[in-house]
């Protein structure tokens, strides 16, 4: 041991202090940029500040476990996304700093976003989950231009970036990174990274990245490195290695085995976000011109259904109970809740999402979205005020409302829905369980076919198939 009074120890103390300071500084996340919108002077006099702080504290705690997380609290919505190559320790440090700084830099703003080198975080008083934001938040580039001895962007790097833009939307984590070689200078390695927030779907991810790519022409062709950042996606290119070459460790289940449920839901666990669907000649076939599907937070559904109150219960099927709900905007919904005791329910849940998400027709019930969170597996549909056809057919009083013109209209609507499923849709669908209780009626008594849990998809030229178990209604 050395004595603090021994002057020979001072140089060593100075070196220790310098190295400690360097280690501390290296551990701190690097702030890049922020945007504050929706200034509201009344925010200081409301509970918004307290609610936001609580939400961001909760969100920050998740960063020690997850690379991405979104949540809401009292009409405030927030998410964070860490860079796909960083570990959870770096992610947690970054998100914690982002949560603190976004409140300091964007006081009295009800919408804000902040970018760090290793993460981004945003919040808003409006629900933005699953809605792709394709505008450019900020550009950052190396002030030095390429020279004769350094590679030009348009020769080698564009090929690398375009490759990553193609790969990322199709990856589980909406993320891709790789290195390449400059085509006009093979001694130079180049590096790229692209990523989308995981609340949007793969189609929206691709659109977002391609739109941000258009900035290259304006800012970055001659630059040695650049970043193009948006709320829903970002791109980065450098001529020095800037990412961790080993993939970041992600939380894994305690058991090494994949359960039957894991396999069935592998295509559904990432929120699908807001998706538009289009098919040819939809107006001629009676199809709606677009459809939307959302990933709903469990908190939103619990609030809408009053915690699955018995008073909100509409009925019970083989899948599980169905509840009426009301979203914050006043829209009424019907929520199917998978029963834990349902032996066939898991397969039917997945089948229903995968089938009906591809279908849009005015005589098919519309799937608004779904939720998979913890043990809960929920399907969210448009609400049909007149419930199902069987409620009228088998009720002597209500049956009187079905005069022959109405019955003919209902029969025609069901037939049009079946014709679409069998002949006119992109996929050939055999429902296999069509009955009065699976025909729902809207306010105007228009019929809509529902419950596609046992439906079967056929190839375009396929006319027969074998079944493994008995399903359906005779």
Cα angle 61-62-64, degrees, rounded to a multiple of 5: 80
Q: Decide whether 27-124 matches 138-238 in CATH topology.
A: yes
The alpha-helical segments, DSSP class H, found in 246-328 are: 260-264, 282-285, 298-304
Token pair 């849709």 in the structure block, residue? 425
Spell out where 40-129 has E strands.
68-73, 76-82, 109-116, 119-124
* pLDDT for res 219: 74
Q: What is the pLDDT of residues 48-97, one digit of tens each?
A: 888 999 999 989 988 988 899 999 988 899 999 999 999 999 999 999 99
Enter the tokens of residue 89.
């320790």
Average pLDDT over residues 402-429: 83
Distance CA 235, CA 213 (A): 8
Burial class of residue 283 (count of CB atoms within 10 Å of its CB; 0-12, 13-18, 19+): exposed
User: How high is the pLDDT of residue 176?
Assistant: 93
3-state secondary structure of 177: strand
Could you tell me the two tokens for 404?
């022959």
What DSSP character marks residue 454? T
Task: Please answer whether residues 416 and 376 qualify as being in contact, where contact means their C-beta atoms are separated by less than 8 angstroms.
Answer: no
SS3 328: coil
Please name which of 302, 375, 310 lies closest in space to residue 338, comparing C-alpha atoms: 375
- Burial of residue 448 (CB within 10 Å: 0-12, 13-18, 19+) is buried
List alpha helices for 191-237, DSSP H: 202-213, 216-219
339 Cα distance to chain centroid: 25
**Which architecture characterizes domain 276-458 according to CATH?**
Orthogonal Bundle (1.10)
Q: Looking at the whole model, is its pTM more than 0.85?
A: no
Could you tell me the residue ranges of all domains in the chain? Answer: 27-124, 138-238, 276-458
Residues designated catalytic: 433
> Domain 27-124 maps to which CATH number in 3.40.50.2300, 3.40.640.10, 3.30.930.10, 3.30.430.20?
3.30.430.20
For 276-311, what is each residue's pLDDT tens digit?
Answer: 322 222 222 333 333 445 667 788 899 999 999 999
The CA-to-CA distance between both ends of the chain, in Å, stands at 90
Whole-number Cα distances in Å, 286 to 127, 329, 457: 31, 28, 21
pLDDT above 90 for 106? yes
Among 183, 189, 175, 180, smallest CA distance to 235 is for: 175
In whole angstroms, give the CA distance from residue 416 to residue 448. Answer: 10
Which helix H or strand E contains 456, and what residues bound it?
strand 456-458
CATH architecture type of domain 138-238: 2-Layer Sandwich (3.30)
Alpha carbons within 13 A on the beta-carbon side of 290: 5
425: pLDDT strictly greater than 90:
no
pLDDT in tens, 164-208: 998 999 888 899 999 887 655 556 788 999 999 999 988 889 999
């Amino acid at each position: 041991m050395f004595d603090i009074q021994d002057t020979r120890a001072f140089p060593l103390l100075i070196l220790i202090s310098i190295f400690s300071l360097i280690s501390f500084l290296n551990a701190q996340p690097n702030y890049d940029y922020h945007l504050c919108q929706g200034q509201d002077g009344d925010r200081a006099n409301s509970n918004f500040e307290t609610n936001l702080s609580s939400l961001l504290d909760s969100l920050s705690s998740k960063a020690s476990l997850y690379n991405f997380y979104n949540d809401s609290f009292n009409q405030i919505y927030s998410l964070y996304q860490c860079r796909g190559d960083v570990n959870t320790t770096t992610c947690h440090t970054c998100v914690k700093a982002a949560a603190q700084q976004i409140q300091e830099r964007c006081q009295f703003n009800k919408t804000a976003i902040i970018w760090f080198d290793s993460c981004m975080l945003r919040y808003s008083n409006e629900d933005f989950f699953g809605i792709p934001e394709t505008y450019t938040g900020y550009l950052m580039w190396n002030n030095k231009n390429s020279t004769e001895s350094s590679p030009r962007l348009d020769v080698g790097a564009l090929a690398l970036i375009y490759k990553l833009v193609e790969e990322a939307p199709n990856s589980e984590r909406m993320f891709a990174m790789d290195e390449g070689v400059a085509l006009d200078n093979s001694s130079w390695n180049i590096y790229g990274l692209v990523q989308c927030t995981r609340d949007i779907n793969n189609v929206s991810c691709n659109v977002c990245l391609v739109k941000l790519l258009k900035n290259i022409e304006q800012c970055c062709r001659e630059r040695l490195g650049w970043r193009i950042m948006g709320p829903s996606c970002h791109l980065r290119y450098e001529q020095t290695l800037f990412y961790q070459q080993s993939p970041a460790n992600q939380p894994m289940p305690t058991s090494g085995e994949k359960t039957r449920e894991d396999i069935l839901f592998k295509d559904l666990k990432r929120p699908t976000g807001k998706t538009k669907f289009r098919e040819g000649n939809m107006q001629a076939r009676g199809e709606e011109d677009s459809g939307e599907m959302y990933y709903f937070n469990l908190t939103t559904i619990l609030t809408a259904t009053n915690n699955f109150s018995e008073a909100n219960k509409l009925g019970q099927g083989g899948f599980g109970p169905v509840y009426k709900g009301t979203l914050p905007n006043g829209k009424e919904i019907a929520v199917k809740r998978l029963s834990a005791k349902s032996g066939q329910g898991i397969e039917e849940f997945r089948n229903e999402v995968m089938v009906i998400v591809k279908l849009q027709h005015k005589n098919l019930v519309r799937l608004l979205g779904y939720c998979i969170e913890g043990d809960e597996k929920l399907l969210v549909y448009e609400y049909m005020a007149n419930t199902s056809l069987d409620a009228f057919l088998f009720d002597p009083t209500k049956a009187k409302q079905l005069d022959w013109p109405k019955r003919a209209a209902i029969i025609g609507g069901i037939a049009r829905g079946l014709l679409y499923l069998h002949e006119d849709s992109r996929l050939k669908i055999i429902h296999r369980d069509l009955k009065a209780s699976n025909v729902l009626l809207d306010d105007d008594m228009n019929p809509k076919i529902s419950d596609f849990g046992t439906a079967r998809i056929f190839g375009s030229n396929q006319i027969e198939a074998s079944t493994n178990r008995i399903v359906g209604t005779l």
